[in-house]
Chain A
């Protein structure tokens, strides 16, 4: 992506070149590109870790690694995928596309933007460094508590926990800065005439995400700080010996953790309708209904957290409240699903790669949502809690709903960002490989979960062997398919058929009025929206 943007640098500006360009850049497109590249790299790192996990689960018994290392892979895989792959990908799109979509010359706070990005690589290093340190006999490896940091395990854990806590601090600061930037950009930098209710849906999705991030990430930062002082400075926030309560950590964590799920998904819910309308060649159905639904989900997201630990013990009225409020989220979500499908209804649809991903996304994310409804049921959750059913559920929401959505966005905007069309045949092949191997990986996990296979355990009972074998083989197919994704992107960045300004026949919006790739400074003349 870098090579092409360089070609369009405005001649009358001095830019540092080489590495200094990327270190010092305050250009929203450069920073967006760095976010997306970082995300792709970390996606592969996190994917490699999970292939280690799946390889261990290929057969019952312990073959490849000890349980400690397995637990470390589990925790770091999740932290990397959530904080270093999915979130930066969404932020990358925000940086690239929000100024273009709302007719702004750049993000509102460009320096903050640069800083926000450059906090990410150090935090990724903090997360993974303990693996390397352990090789030299320093410490006992990375965080082994799972991504949720539950005490007492996290209070007792080794230096990996401290590294992860500091990584979360940095990631938190980075995403709060990114969010503030997006909020300010959306409120102050819209082109004349673009009222809030004329903003593209992607901007709406991100605005709500940004508010959720500013409100909840500091709670996570506070919770892990308490963990840190419990570990090293003699406090007893979560340590029962001193009168603390480990359950309180679960409340604090999930007060952040549940909105986090929507933080990961709301940007995707923003641009998927734009993709659907582009390839259905029809205006988006129910714009207002979608905006209100996004707000409703954003608001409900912060009041449902305790459904993540129904089994930890709660009075019945609390169980009922968290069950019903959780299930209530399915109402605005159903409105969204209806709008997405209605957008396609009787449209002149074509199925280029972004549309394939978008339509596949609706179905797979739908499965994720419906299985979540099952988990929200207190009575049923007693059986499903901490089983592979949960693992399959959240991979349907976060891999299909998150990452496959992001991939739809990549194919949709890649021609705009690079100026070249990607290889359509390879793109379609990538979609089918991903969709099929994804389902073959996770459908068996629903079954073993229902049958009682617990998550986060490196060994399992013999009756789960066949399903796990299918799951592992498919997971490797899924992982290797992503190398094709990388190849397609590199090929597209290097060259290919030139993309037109509009790129797609049915594309609507300001970003498609600019050349592909857009010039270094986007709008020399501020657009005005009627």
Chain B
């Protein structure tokens, strides 16, 4: 790669031509960068769509499912465990009344959760469900849930809240256990 003086076929661009070409390519690259910034924000709805189809992130449908027409599958049992958490900033006690339930897919069951406001103010909370393994989340169908709406508790009030749900019989055969977790967040309007 020794420099040689052989400019016959090689015509260097003029200064202006070069400057224009540089500006043009630089502008294109700015568009690429702007495109990837847009892509980052586009990933948010894409991620939500992907998750609601696949249940990737363990989110369940936050709306009432209609009663199943499928038959109860008496041939298998599924165990659903319940866990609860109260997020920082919410002065509540909150726990499931039973640790787990074993049920046949297709059968509607009711379990109870209890929340108590231990502060001296009216507090509004919102429960966010999550199912593990994530793949099972789309098969857990809720008929009625305290998580569909905000829950408001007066000072010292205790509330027993029902969850009516069933497991879709289409649940993959290799899933025999799942965990339904509720985290209560503060939702008081400030």
- Same complex for A and B? Answer yes
Residues of A within 8 A of B (CB): 103, 108-109, 112, 156, 176, 179-181, 183-184, 187-189, 191-194, 198, 214-223, 226, 237, 240-241, 243, 245, 247-248, 251-252, 255, 313-315, 318, 508-510, 513, 525-530
Sorted nearest first, the 3 A-B pairs with minimum C-beta distance are A222-B40, A527-B3, A241-B185
> Does chain A have a CB within 8 A of B170?
no
Q: A112-B26, A188-B21, A240-B185 are in contact. Are A528 and B135 (CB under 8 A)?
A: no
The answer to whether B26 and A180 touch across the interface, beta carbons within 8 angstroms, is yes
The answer to whether A510 and B3 touch across the interface, beta carbons within 8 angstroms, is yes
The answer to whether A313 and B133 touch across the interface, beta carbons within 8 angstroms, is yes
The answer to whether B47 and A251 touch across the interface, beta carbons within 8 angstroms, is yes
Q: Whole-angstrom distance between the alpha carbons of A184 and B34 in the complex?
A: 17
Q: A112-B26, A188-B21 are in contact. Are A245 and B10 (CB under 8 A)?
A: no
The answer to whether B3 and A528 touch across the interface, beta carbons within 8 angstroms, is yes
Q: A241-B185, A315-B134, A526-B12 are in contact. Are A221 and B4 (CB under 8 A)?
A: no
Which chain B residues lie closer than 8 Å to A181 at the CB level? 26
Q: Which of A183, A193, A223, A314 is the one whose CB lies under 8 Å from B25?
A: A183
Shortest B124–chain A CB gap in Å is 12
Nearest chain A residue, comparing its CB with the CB of B174: A316
Q: Whole-angstrom distance between the alpha carbons of A180 and B11 in the complex?
A: 25
The answer to whether A313 and B134 touch across the interface, beta carbons within 8 angstroms, is yes
Q: Which of A188, A189, A193, A509 is the one whose CB lies under 8 Å from B10?
A: A193
Interface residues of B in 98-151 (CB under 8 A from A): 126, 128, 132-135
Q: Which of B33, B51, B185 is the one whose CB lies under 8 Å from A180?
A: B33
Q: Whole-angstrom distance between the alpha carbons of A262 and B120 in the complex?
A: 55
Contact with A along B146-181 (1 / 0, CB 8 A): 000000000000000000000000000000000000
Which chain B residues lie closer than 8 Å to A513 at the CB level? 2-3
Nearest chain A residue, comparing its CB with the CB of B134: A313
Q: Whole-angstrom distance between the alpha carbons of A251 and B39 in the complex?
A: 13
Q: A219-B36, A510-B1 are in contact. Are A188 and B18 (CB under 8 A)?
A: yes
> Does chain A have a CB within 8 A of B56?
yes
The answer to whether A241 and B128 touch across the interface, beta carbons within 8 angstroms, is yes
Which chain A residues lie closer than 8 Å to B30 at the CB level? 180
Nearest chain B residue, comparing its CB with the CB of A510: B1
Q: How many residues of B contact A (CB 8 A)?
A: 46
Q: A215-B36, A241-B87, A251-B47 are in contact. Are A184 and B1 (CB under 8 A)?
A: no
List 20 additional contacts besides A180-B29, A251-B47, A527-B3; criterion CB under 8 Å: A108-B26, A176-B33, A180-B30, A181-B26, A184-B22, A192-B10, A192-B11, A198-B1, A219-B36, A221-B40, A245-B57, A313-B58, A313-B133, A315-B135, A508-B1, A528-B3, A528-B10, A529-B3, A530-B2, A530-B6
Which chain A residues lie closer than 8 Å to B3 at the CB level? 103, 191, 510, 513, 525, 527-529
In the complex, 17 of the A-B residue pairs with CB atoms within 8 angstroms, ordered by the A residue number, are A156-B88, A176-B33, A188-B25, A218-B37, A219-B36, A222-B37, A222-B39, A240-B185, A245-B47, A245-B59, A247-B57, A251-B47, A255-B43, A509-B1, A513-B2, A526-B12, A530-B6
Interface residues of B in 1-31 (CB under 8 A from A): 1-7, 10-12, 18, 21-22, 25-26, 29-30
The answer to whether A248 and B47 touch across the interface, beta carbons within 8 angstroms, is yes
Q: Whole-angstrom distance between the alpha carbons of A510 and B87 in the complex?
A: 63
Q: Whole-angstrom distance between the alpha carbons of A191 and B185 in the complex?
A: 63
Q: Whole-angstrom distance between the alpha carbons of A220 and B41 in the complex?
A: 11
> Does chain A have a CB within 8 A of B32?
yes
The answer to whether A252 and B40 touch across the interface, beta carbons within 8 angstroms, is yes
The answer to whether A241 and B57 touch across the interface, beta carbons within 8 angstroms, is no
The answer to whether B29 and A184 touch across the interface, beta carbons within 8 angstroms, is yes
Which chain B residues lie closer than 8 Å to A252 at the CB level? 40, 43
Q: A513-B2, A528-B5 are in contact. Are A241 and B26 (CB under 8 A)?
A: no
Which chain B residues lie closer than 8 Å to A194 at the CB level? 1
Q: Whole-angstrom distance between the alpha carbons of A508 and B3 in the complex?
A: 12
Q: Whole-angstrom distance between the alpha carbons of A181 and B27 in the complex?
A: 11
